[in-house]
Amino acid sequence: MSTLRIERPRGDALLEDWRFVHNTIIPTGPLSLEDVRERSQRNHLEVAYLGDAVVGCTTVRPPTGAEATATVIARVLPGHRGQGFGTQLYTRGLERAREMGAAAIETVVLASNTDGLRFAEARGFVEFERYVLPGDTIGYVTLRLA
């Protein structure tokens, strides 16, 4: 398994890399650079590189609610899947969520992303709910770590 270089996106260049991965994986919900800047203020974002090539990104939403539920999302570009990168990103995100005090972990996957759903289920996540955002036609699946 190759080792990734993983960085917090400080500055617009790395935020653009994070945005590129997000918008490639979630084409139904493209974000602007300003959207990503705002997200980086409330969530823990990271970008993964193999050499100089962007491979993926993560989002860790801090724990909320009575159950202290954090959300960990690992995204890997299609050309880099099946090489262990998702596992590396997910493991880091899970560690970060627990450092933040998470007692429960969820993830969110675009319903049409069958690779992402299989990845989550293989790591012990179980479907919790499905929803469609206003104006969208493809829904999202929230899964909770069992």
The residue extents of the domains of the chain are 5-104
pLDDT digits (tens, 9 = 90+) for 36-72: 999 999 999 999 999 999 999 999 999 999 999 999 9
**Using an 8 Å Cβ cutoff, are 56 and 76 in contact?**
yes
For residue 116 the two structure tokens come to 């992402």
Distance in angstroms (rounded) separating the CA atoms of residues 31 and 87: 25
Superfamily of domain 5-104: Gcn5-related N-acetyltransferase (GNAT) (3.40.630.30)
Distance in angstroms (rounded) separating the CA atoms of residues 118 and 124: 10
Orientation of helix 12-25 relative to helix 33-42, angle to 10°:
100
Question: Among residues of the chain, what percentage have pLDDT more than 70?
Answer: 99
Mean pLDDT over 74-99 rounds to 95
| Burial track 36-66 (b if 16+ CB lie within 10 A, e otherwise) | beebbeebbbbbbeeeeebbbbbbbbbbeee
Mean pLDDT over 78-90 rounds to 94
The pairing of strands 104-110 and 69-76 is parallel
Question: How confident is the prediction for the chain on average, in pLDDT?
Answer: 95
Is 34 a residue whose pLDDT tops 80?
yes
pLDDT of residue 1: 60
pLDDT digits (tens, 9 = 90+) for 111-128: 999 999 999 999 999 999
